[in-house]
């Protein structure tokens, strides 16, 4: 038995649902990119009780100030497509008697929509749950004014000035917003970082399996803790079209336009173990520019793999490729 855990945005669907959701508000994409960068800065600095992917709680006050709610999440999710081969890959996993699951930072309605498209039942999906009724009730008139005023200030901040961006958003979230009722949004437990690892542990426990009997497929900073844990416990950590935050923590990298490129790795891992996976990956030589590329990832080699992953990531994910 093998449990195969997928991150959702990247491996299964190219769309970043929160990014597209923010596009519904004026200058929302630029605002999201700044908040996403701020999220990276907080996660990398090791802020206590902060996890990669907590962007999904940071954007909530801005969404609410513009009347965006769960209905909009569902509508935006309906536009999402799948990564080529995603449905076929999941069905192949089922056919081999393995168990797929999804561990996603995404808001739950989006995660459930993609899960249905690829054929994974709701009870095998872990994602970020938001009670919009409670949050909408916390948006007082003063909260609207505060959020909209600071939205303008954040958008005026130079995109490449990390120091100014962090100083500005530190003040907004942790000095001002926390004093308003909508500050409860900052307590939302987003499914990222170590919370992903704990959700994966829960799925493994229910299946009676250990991390060494698990394969995980991730691509970004929200997956780093989960990838590192699985790698450290002797499981198969696959970085699929990954960025610099994920590649250092994988066992094998796969840069491909089609998710089915991971299937040989899963089969070898299930039958012959991790070392044979590395041997096979090291022997693969892509013939064409867009053939799947495989890399055995180490502290020394992952940086050499980054350029090809960036190329495939851009081809598959478009604008969302630049997000952490």
DSSP-assigned states of every residue in 32-101: HHHHHHHHHHHHHHT-TT--TTTHHHHSHHHHHHTT--HHHHHHHHHTPPPPTTHHHHHHHHHHTT-EEE
Give how far Cα 16 sits from Cα of 45, 70, 269, Å.
24, 16, 30
Question: What is the pLDDT averaged over residues 261-272?
Answer: 98
Asked whether residue 147 falls in the same domain as residue 176, the answer is yes
Residue 303 lies in a domain: yes
pLDDT of residue 60: 97
Asked whether residue 164 falls in the same domain as residue 312, the answer is no
Asked whether residue 61 falls in the same domain as residue 144, the answer is yes
Asked whether residue 249 falls in the same domain as residue 262, the answer is yes
Residue 313 lies in a domain: yes
Q: Do residues 60 and 130 touch, judged by C-beta distance below 8 A?
A: yes
- The distance of Cα 266 from the centroid of its chain, to the nearest Å, equals 21
pLDDT of residue 11: 97
- pTM of the model as a whole: 0.94
Asked whether residue 240 falls in the same domain as residue 152, the answer is no
Residue 297 lies in a domain: yes
pLDDT of residue 324: 53
Helices 263-272, 274-283: inter-axial angle, 10-degree rounding: 140
pLDDT band of 229, cuts 50, 70, 90: very high
Residue 75 lies in a domain: no
Boundaries of domain holding 204: 3-14+83-128+192-322
pLDDT of residue 240: 98
User: What secondary structure letter does DSSP report for 170?
Assistant: H
Residue 323 has pLDDT above 80, yes or no: no
Cβ-Cβ contacts under 8 Å for 174 (sequence gap 6 or more): none
Residue 222 lies in a domain: yes
Residue 6 has pLDDT above 60, yes or no: yes
Asked whether residue 174 falls in the same domain as residue 218, the answer is no
Q: How many domains does the chain have?
A: 2
Other C-beta atoms lying within 10 Å of the C-beta of residue 78: 9
- CATH code of the domain covering residue 139: 1.10.3870.10
- Which of 170, 187, 204 represents a domain boundary (last residue)? 187
Asked whether residue 159 falls in the same domain as residue 297, the answer is no
- Which of 143, 168, 187 represents a domain boundary (last residue)? 187
pLDDT of residue 322: 65
DSSP secondary structure string for all residues of 272-322: H-HHHHHHHHHH----STTS-EEEE--TTTHHHHHHHHHHHHHHHHGGGGG
Task: Give the lowest-confidence range in 13-22, 47-56, 199-208, 220-229.
Answer: 47-56
Asked whether residue 181 falls in the same domain as residue 309, the answer is no
160-207 per-position pLDDT tens digit = 899 999 999 999 999 999 999 999 999 999 999 999 999 999 999 999
pLDDT of residue 287: 86
- CATH code of the domain covering residue 235: 3.40.50.1000
Asked whether residue 105 falls in the same domain as residue 37, the answer is no
- Which of 147, 170, 187 represents a domain boundary (last residue)? 187
Asked whether residue 39 falls in the same domain as residue 177, the answer is yes
Q: Do residues 316 and 14 touch, judged by C-beta distance below 8 A?
A: yes
pLDDT of residue 321: 59
Question: What is the pLDDT averaged over residues 51-67?
Answer: 95
C-alpha torsion sign, points 75, 189, 217, 222: positive
Residue 115 lies in a domain: yes
pLDDT of residue 48: 85
Cβ-Cβ contacts under 8 Å for 307 (sequence gap 6 or more): none
Residue 233 has pLDDT above 70, yes or no: yes
pLDDT of residue 320: 66
Residue 293 has pLDDT above 90, yes or no: yes
124-151 per-position pLDDT tens digit = 999 999 999 999 999 999 999 999 999 9
Residue 78 lies in a domain: no
Q: Do residues 274 and 216 touch, judged by C-beta distance below 8 A?
A: no
Residue 74 lies in a domain: no
């Amino acid at each position: 038995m093998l449990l195969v855990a997928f991150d959702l945005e990247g491996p299964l669907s190219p769309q970043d649902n929160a990014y597209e959701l923010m596009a519904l508000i004026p200058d929302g994409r630029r605002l999201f990119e700044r908040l996403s960068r701020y999220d990276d800065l907080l996660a990398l600095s090791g802020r206590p009780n902060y996890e990669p992917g907590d962007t999904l709680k940071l954007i909530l006050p801005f969404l609410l100030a513009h009347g965006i709610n769960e209905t909009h999440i569902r509508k935006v999710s309906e536009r999402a497509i799948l990564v080529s081969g995603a449905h076929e890959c999941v069905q192949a996993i089922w056919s081999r008697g393995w168990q797929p699951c999804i561990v996603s930072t995404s808001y739950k309605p989006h995660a459930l929509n993609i899960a249905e498209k690829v054929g994974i039942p709701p009870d095998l999906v872990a994602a970020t749950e938001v009670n919009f009724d409670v949050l909408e009730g916390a948006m007082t008139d003063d909260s609207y004014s505060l959020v909209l005023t600071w939205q303008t200030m954040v958008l005026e901040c130079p995109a490449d000035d990390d120091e100014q961006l962090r100083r500005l958003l530190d003040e907004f979230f942790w000095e001002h917003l926390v004093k308003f009722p909508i500050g409860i949004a900052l307590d939302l437990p987003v499914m990222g970082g170590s919370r992903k690892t704990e959700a994966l542990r829960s799925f493994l426990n229910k299946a009676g399996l250990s991390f060494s009997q698990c394969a995980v497929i991730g691509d970004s900073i929200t997956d780093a803790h989960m990838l590192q844990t699985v790698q450290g416990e002797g499981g198969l950590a696959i970085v699929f079209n990954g960025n610099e935050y994920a590649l250092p923590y994988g066992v094998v990298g796969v840069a491909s336009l089609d998710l089915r490129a991971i299937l040989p790795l899963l089969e070898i891992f299930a039958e012959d173990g991790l070392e044979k996976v590395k041997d096979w990956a090291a022997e693969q030589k892509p013939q064409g520019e867009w053939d799947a590329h495989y890399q055995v990832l180490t502290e020394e080699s992952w940086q050499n793999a980054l350029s090809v992953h960036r190329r495939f990531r851009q081809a598959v994910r478009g604008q969302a490729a630049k997000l952490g």
